[in-house]
Amino acid sequence: MTINFYKSANKIIYLQLLLVIMPATLFAQGKLKQLYKDPNVPIQIRVKDLLSKMTIEEKAGQLNQLNSGDLTGPGLNATSQQEKLIMLKAGKIGSFLNTIGASTTRSVQKIAVEQSRLGIPLLFGYDVIHGYKTLFPIPLAEACSWDLDQVTENSKVAAKEAAVSGLHWTFAPMCDISTDPRWGRVMEGAGEDPYYASLLASARVKGFQGKLESEYNVLATVKHFAAYGAVEGGRDYNNVDVSRSKLWNTYLPPYEAAVKAGAATVMNSFNVLDGIPASGNKFLLTEVLKNKWGFKGFVVSDWNSFGEMIPHGFAADYKDVALKALKAGSMMDMESKSVINHLPQLIKEGKLNIAQVDDAVGRILYYKFKLGLFENPYRFSDEQREKDNLLTPAHRKVARIAGTKSIVLLKNSDQLLPLASKDKKIALVGFYANSKADMVDMWKGTSDYNTYVTVYDGLKAQYKDLTFADGYNSKNETSEKLIAEAVNNASAADVVIVNIGISGKVSGEDKSLADINIPAGQIALLKALHQTGKPIIALVTAGRPLVLTQVLPYTNAVLYCWLLGTETGNSVADVVKGLYNPTAKTVMSFPYAVGQVPVYYNHFNTGRPAPDPGGDSFYSRYLDIPNQPLFPFGYGLSYTTFNYRNLSLDLPLLNSGQVQNVSVTVKNTGKYDGEEIVQLYINDITASIVRPVKELKAYKKIGLKAGEEKTITFQLGAKDLSFFDDKGNVILEKGKFKIFVGGNSRDVLETTFELK
């Protein structure tokens, strides 16, 4: 790739002249002392001018972020309110997290702006993971929609509600690839595939930030950098140890995509990489993030992740922490206070280069200027606008639609669903169907329980004759009495809908589970209900894939509803009733058993792949379960059916500069109009490092009326056929490729071509 050096050289010269001429001119006009306050001056110049006026303590202040609200981490070395006030007035705090609300942020901002020497405004950050006041489906559920416009719309609404509440910054999107449903944080991500997770990350950044021009946009955060989703055993904060080629090919792409989408900030992860904590990892922060990807925003630590370099065994004390974090390329320090307490001394001792500090502080100041906070520090803190823009009917509508697009139909024997008639006698069973507290995860934002629509609320609104029984209690225990009541209702009904799963309370950070089976009490209830002979629809609610192996024999239909947020019940009822024909496809494999984890579609073949059908012995398998997951990546049914045929390529022999057109005909062979997510995978059969048996490289969500068929064409180019070597170089190798197209990663048509 040739860079037009002459043009870019020109640009550099121009900017340098500007940096010299502008100040000189303004100096002559006696305006220099207020240069940084002049909105007509380019931001880079304002930053430079402000930096020239700051003391080292004030620079350390810009790198200091403190919690000033609910705890979202261990409250080990919390700072008292009194101490915060003193630090604020001394310009020693640059940002707060968990300070929310137009009124509160305005009053805190006022102190920083009016009572400190330079009046540098604060940034207020918060975890708007899937909504602020209107709660959307968890990101993992939202990802199952394969609808990027919907994802962007959801993020836009979340950003708007956050921004009108005084917030400038959300700590999202989480871009951590994970293949381990024991890890509670899978709910925050986009599943197991790097290609699709990259598209999701970009869509979320676009929704949160827009062009960062209006009062309805917020800074996005690419987190957690990097590979936090690879924690061993699915145990949060545990060790991560991945090969460089796995890092480049699987874990880094979504972070890169979010950075390239213009994300303003990146957050360190808690884990080590190559034995070095991410917060002190120069390879990640400088070589990859800044030098290779050209990241121009700023890095913020995770909660005390600087300080955790001590228990990691990488730093001796907080002064060493500050030195190692900043030298590696970290910048803003969330909650450890290592930087504010030790940076000035480190500079005095010559251990840290002031230019590196100025670069970090300058990046933060850039966004404070960009957000217009120097012109109007209270721009986001308007109480009337806050009142007018939270949990509006329009926002609820977006959440309801997003929910319907996230529900995955896993089973539908004899076309039991949809229950189109409102006169159906329904026995709804399941404590969770009527429990607002269990509907949402820890990242519920500021949403209120009393605004949630439960499954019970939603179904009751759509069906006239509906009974309800708990069937099990808040601890997932059942009893003869609870079962008897449920069975009694079931016997009198036409159909049973049973809400099973686990509470949203065990979803999110620090929510790892060793057992991801459906609770035994619920299985006992299912067996009893099955005895009635009534058709049973299972609605499964959880923030992760659960093991459903024991559920399938006792149910006729299964809808995986994840955690859908404020409009849960309405989204579920719209799908159950057939007002929305399910389109969602899972973005995480569903394990056959927890012992199968990690199980994912884009695995290597191994030297002894399991023959299909199974051979006799000496191949990679379990003796007690199949190798395949219960439900594979990309799987999800519709109320209609689709048939795939005529997979064809236009170039059986492809030159590296050419585009391969891949066509397939898809027909809606059922009786409902529907949408199908047509997926295209490749396999690089022989390469210098082994490649996955399948890699998603394209998809199209197409609408087909009952009986209608369409031929769709994908374009594959060199970029789609390349991979990274362990240095992060893009490699394209000649040889044979398999192409797969289908409605999931397992049931596919296959063909091959050769790259010459």
For the record, the structure tokens of 281 come out as 């990892």
* Torsional class of 64: left (φ above 0), alpha (ψ -120 to 50), beta (otherwise): beta
Residue 48 or 223: the one with the smaller Cβ distance to ligand GLC is 223
Cα–Cα distance for residue pair 131/129, rounded to 1 Å: 6
Cα–Cα distance for residue pair 185/174, rounded to 1 Å: 9
- Cis bond leading into 418, ω under 30°? yes
Please provide the DSSP assignment of 327-390 as one string.
Answer: HHT--BEES--HHHHHHHHHHHTT-S-HHHHHHHHHHHHHHHHHTTTTT-TTTT--HHHHHHHS
**Binding residues for ligand GLC restricted to 553-572, rule: CB under 6 A:** none
Residue 58 or 509: the one with the smaller Cβ distance to ligand GLC is 509
Residues paired with 735 in a beta bridge = 755
The Cα angle at residue 343 between residues 340 and 347, in degrees rounded to 5: 155
Annotated active-site positions, please?
A: 302
Say whether 509 sits in a helix, a strand or coil: coil
331: nearest Cα among 344, 343, 320, 319: 343
Residue 334 or 483: the one with the smaller Cβ distance to ligand GLC is 334
First-last CA distance in the chain: 21
Cα–Cα distance for residue pair 113/89, rounded to 1 Å: 9
284: nearest Cα among 251, 320, 236: 251
Q: What is the 3-state secondary structure (H, E, C) of 529-563?
A: HHHCCCCEEEEEECCCCCECCCCHHHCCEEEECCC
- Quote the least distance from Cβ 68 to ligand GLC, whole Å: 12
For the record, the structure tokens of 34 come out as 């207020």
- Quote the least distance from Cβ 512 to ligand GLC, whole Å: 13
- Quote the least distance from Cβ 233 to ligand GLC, whole Å: 18
- Quote the least distance from Cβ 73 to ligand GLC, whole Å: 4
Cα–Cα distance for residue pair 535/533, rounded to 1 Å: 7
- Quote the least distance from Cβ 728 to ligand GLC, whole Å: 25
Q: What is the 3-state secondary structure (H, E, C) of 388-454?
A: HHCCCHHHHHHHHHHHHCCCEEEEEHHHCCCCCCCCCEEEEECHHHHCHHHCCCCCCCCCCHHHCCC
Residue 284 or 417: the one with the smaller Cβ distance to ligand GLC is 284
The answer to whether 611 and 585 have CB atoms below 8 angstroms apart is no
Distances, alpha carbon 168 to alpha carbons 123, 155, 186, 284, in Å: 6, 14, 26, 26
- Quote the least distance from Cβ 609 to ligand GLC, whole Å: 37
- Quote the least distance from Cβ 125 to ligand GLC, whole Å: 8
Residue 169 or 369: the one with the smaller Cβ distance to ligand GLC is 169
Residue 176 or 695: the one with the smaller Cβ distance to ligand GLC is 176
Residue 136 or 443: the one with the smaller Cβ distance to ligand GLC is 443
Residue 133 or 411: the one with the smaller Cβ distance to ligand GLC is 133
- Quote the least distance from Cβ 188 to ligand GLC, whole Å: 8
Residue 302 or 675: the one with the smaller Cβ distance to ligand GLC is 302
- Quote the least distance from Cβ 543 to ligand GLC, whole Å: 15
* Torsional class of 471: left (φ above 0), alpha (ψ -120 to 50), beta (otherwise): left
- Quote the least distance from Cβ 464 to ligand GLC, whole Å: 44
Residue 221 or 745: the one with the smaller Cβ distance to ligand GLC is 221
Cα–Cα distance for residue pair 74/261, rounded to 1 Å: 32
Burial (Cβ within 10 Å: 0-12, 13-18, ≥19) of residue 131? buried
How many residues contact ligand GLC, by CB under 6 A?
9
196: nearest Cα among 181, 175, 210, 170: 175
Mark residues 54-93: x for contact with ligand GLC by CB under 6 A, - for none. Answer: ------------------xx--------------------
Mark residues 599-628: x for contact with ligand GLC by CB under 6 A, - for none. Answer: ------------------------------
678 DSSP assignment: E
- Quote the least distance from Cβ 217 to ligand GLC, whole Å: 19
How many CA atoms lie less than 13 Å away from 209 in the CB half-sphere? 27
The Cα angle at residue 299 between residues 36 and 333, in degrees rounded to 5: 90
Cα–Cα distance for residue pair 638/634, rounded to 1 Å: 13
Q: Which helix (H) or strand (E) holds 25?
A: helix 5-28
Member of 176, 441, 509, 695 binding ligand GLC (CB under 6 A)? 509
Decide if residue 443 touches ligand GLC (CB under 6 A): no
**Binding residues for ligand GLC restricted to 120-139, rule: CB under 6 A:** 127
**Binding residues for ligand GLC restricted to 620-679, rule: CB under 6 A:** none
Member of 193, 256, 302, 333 binding ligand GLC (CB under 6 A)? 302
The Cα angle at residue 525 between residues 522 and 530, in degrees rounded to 5: 125
Residue 126 or 753: the one with the smaller Cβ distance to ligand GLC is 126
Cα–Cα distance for residue pair 663/751, rounded to 1 Å: 11
**Binding residues for ligand GLC restricted to 170-229, rule: CB under 6 A:** 171, 223
Residue 73 or 692: the one with the smaller Cβ distance to ligand GLC is 73
- Quote the least distance from Cβ 537 to ligand GLC, whole Å: 35
CB neighbours of residue 349 within 10 Å: 11
For the record, the structure tokens of 208 come out as 């949160």
Residue 303 or 723: the one with the smaller Cβ distance to ligand GLC is 303
Member of 136, 183, 248, 303 binding ligand GLC (CB under 6 A)? 303
Q: Which helix (H) or strand (E) holds 679?
A: strand 674-684
- Quote the least distance from Cβ 443 to ligand GLC, whole Å: 9
Distances, alpha carbon 721 to alpha carbons 133, 313, 333, 490, 726, in Å: 42, 41, 40, 54, 17
Positions that interact with ligand GLC (CB under 6 A): 72-73, 97, 127, 171, 223, 302-303, 509
